[in-house]
Every structure is written in C-alpha cells, then in structure tokens.
Amino acid sequence: MGREVTRRYIDPLAQVWLDAARRIGLRVTRTPDTYASTDGRGTLAIAIDRDLDADDSLAQMIFHELCHSLVEGEASFAAPDWGMDNTGPDHDWREHACLRVQWVLTGRHGLRTLFAPTTDFRTFWDQLSGDVLADRTDPSVQSAIAGLRRAEHPPWGPALGDALAATARIATEAARFAAAPRTPELAPLWTAIEPVPAPHPTGLPPRVAAGAVDATCGTCAWRYDSRGRTRCRQADTLRDGMRIDPAWPACERFEAALDCQTCGACCRAAYHSVEVSPRDPVVKKQPQLIVKRETYLELQRTGDRCAALHGGELEHGATTRYHCAIYDDRPRTCRDFTLGSGHCLTARRRVGLSL
C-alpha cells in the first residue's frame, strides 16, 4: 500500500539561501543548460547538482552570485548576468572584486572553506591572504569596498547577514559530527569549518587578517582624541562619542594611514559645491576656476569633481595619483578640510576607499 508524501526534504543550507535570495528579490531555478546566470528579470539559474563540483553546493552558488550583485550594484538586477559580459577587459577585476567581497563576508563567520568559489578564479582566491582590501589603488578593491557597504542595506541587508549567521550555526553543529575519512575519498567540507571570530569591542566586525598582530585601534588612521578620550571615527557611526582603548586589536575597518594622493575623495565626491569668499586670494590668483552665481562664488566643477583636481585615471590596472593643480592657492574651505575627519571618512566611503 502506497503512502501520500506531503513534504519534501531540502538541504538545510539550500533552504537558508533560497529564502535569502527570495528576500533579496531573486527566484532561483535549477537547469542543466548553464552553470550560473541571471536573466535581468529576477531569475537566477543555477546548474543541477550533477553538474556542480564536489565541493560546490546550491547555497555556495547563490552566495557567490549575490556577491556579484553587491559589486555591480542594485541596477545589476535588471541586467542579464549582472551586466557582465564574461569576456571584456573589465571582467577579471570585477571577478576579483566579487571574490574579495566573499573573502571578507565569509571570514566574519568562519566559512571561507565551505563557501570558497570553484570557478576558474579559484587560483586567485587561494592566493588571497591578510588584508585583501589594503591596496586602495586597485579597482577591484574599491569595488569590493563599495559592495561590502551595500551589504548592510536593502535589498541585501538584513537577509544576507541573516543567511550567513544561520549558515555559520548550521556549519558549526555539522562540524561536530564530521570526521576525515579513513579511506582515500574526499573529506567532507564540514571538517574545515573555522571558529566564528569573537566580536570587536566596538561592535564593528573583527579584523580577520593573518599577519596583523601590530594592527590596533591605537595605530588606526580613524583614531582621534577628544576631551581627553580616545575615540574612533568608524565607531562614531554606531554610537556617537564611543570611547575606545588604543590597545584593542583592530577591527575590520582598520586603515594604517591615509594618503591624499591615492584618494582625492574630498575633491571629487565630498561636496556638490565649494563656495569661495570674494576676499579669498584664489579669486584673483585663479580667476579661470571661479564661477559667479547670483549670490555667491564657487570653484568650477565637472559633476562633483573639482576642475583643479588632476589624476585618477586607470593605467596598467592601478589608479594614477591625484594632485591639486592650484594647491598653493587653494581656497580656505580646502585648507580647513582635515585628513582623518568625519567629512574625510564620508568622502572616502562615497568613492569606495573606506568601509
């Protein structure tokens, strides 16, 4: 006598990530016709299980595609394959940016082995170590930082964070029951689960980077002193005036130093307009850059970028150094802009140089 089947089994991680994709705005289908693709209309197609590598999973595949969407931005949901053509000159660094995002997000939860990519870019992944966001002149780093900031906001947040945290809990429990096989067969991925890093005292994500023993709150560029207390520009975004201990190990947003010539953010993203006093010496010394409005003067700009800012071109995979063509004559507004200030952090975030 047959029985009526009223439920079907779904792998727990698949359940988590299918729901995460749904919350973010994607419908996941399985197909033998592609490895992974999006149609630009809300459908993410993933290969069937028999076509995946032994260390792939539906959960990992969905996560990887969501990292692509983080790098490319919300508009990419309306473009097939996130707007990537898989052949153009930008393809490699965009893939690298995606993997940097994966590295950081999985590192927060001890999931780097479980959710490692298995594409042709696995070689790049295996070479990643330490602070994978350190080279701020690399376009893949800048795009990765922008993607990580998007992860905190809709449509990705909080669904993506919820799914990663749930995956870590499931993986930790599964690891307790996993053992390396005594025969030559492949060991289960569960044997490589890493402990979830302890939270940082500020509440920011901890820094999970090998070789960072000298990185502390006291050596971070965002540390500042106010009213006899040591504080942090990054922690201020969580709680205004939070006191920090300079001896604390660095958080994920640690930066050892800020270099204006590799940044230029304050001159290309911080302000829509830089007003100039009629008495400012720049008015007479650089009249070609002064724009007269009905009630005020301002520096000439192209979009949000100051006309006096030079540099920032992409050459040989790196961004050329920025410099101000009128630095000695720059107006007081520019002279008063403080390196490492809250405005500096805001500007750097806008251009993908700081988390």
Q: How far apart are CA 278 and CA 298, in angstroms?
A: 10
Tokens of 139: 């376009």
Per DSSP (E only), the strands in 94-252 are 223-226, 229-232
Q: Are 223 and 230 in contact (CB under 8 A)?
A: yes
> Is residue 39's pLDDT more than 90?
yes
SS3 content of the chain, % helix, strand, coil (to 5): 40, 15, 50
Q: Are 215 and 254 in contact (CB under 8 A)?
A: yes
Q: How far apart are CA 319 and CA 139, in angstroms?
A: 7
Q: What does the radius of gyration of the chain's CA atoms come to, in whole angstroms? A: 24
Residue 48's CB is within 10 A of a number of other CB atoms, namely 11
Question: First vs last Cα of the chain: how many Å apart?
Answer: 61
Q: Are 101 and 71 in contact (CB under 8 A)?
A: yes
Q: What is the dihedral of CA 203, 204, 205, 210, to 10 degrees?
A: -110
Residue ranges of domains in the chain: 12-165, 201-257, 260-350
> Is residue 167's pLDDT more than 90?
yes
User: Exposure of 351 by Cβ count < 10 A (0-12 exposed, 13-18 middle, 19+ buried)?
Assistant: buried
Q: What is the pLDDT of residues 86-115, one digit of tens each?
A: 776 778 899 999 999 999 999 999 999 999
Q: How far apart are CA 111 and CA 208, in angstroms?
A: 12
- Return the pLDDT at 213: 57
pLDDT band at 179 (very low <50, low <70, confident <90, very high): confident
pLDDT band at 352 (very low <50, low <70, confident <90, very high): confident
Q: What is the pLDDT of residues 213-256, one digit of tens each?
A: 578 999 999 999 988 899 999 998 777 778 999 999 999 999 99
pLDDT band at 8 (very low <50, low <70, confident <90, very high): very high
- Across the chain, mean pLDDT equals 91
- Return the pLDDT at 130: 86
| pTM (predicted TM-score) | 0.89
- Return the pLDDT at 312: 87
> Which residue shows structure tokens 């709680």?
239
Tokens of 350: 């806008």
CB proximity list for 302: less than 8 A, separation 6 or greater: none
Q: What is the pLDDT of residues 264-304, one digit of tens each?
A: 999 998 778 889 999 999 999 999 999 999 899 999 988 88
- Return the pLDDT at 319: 79
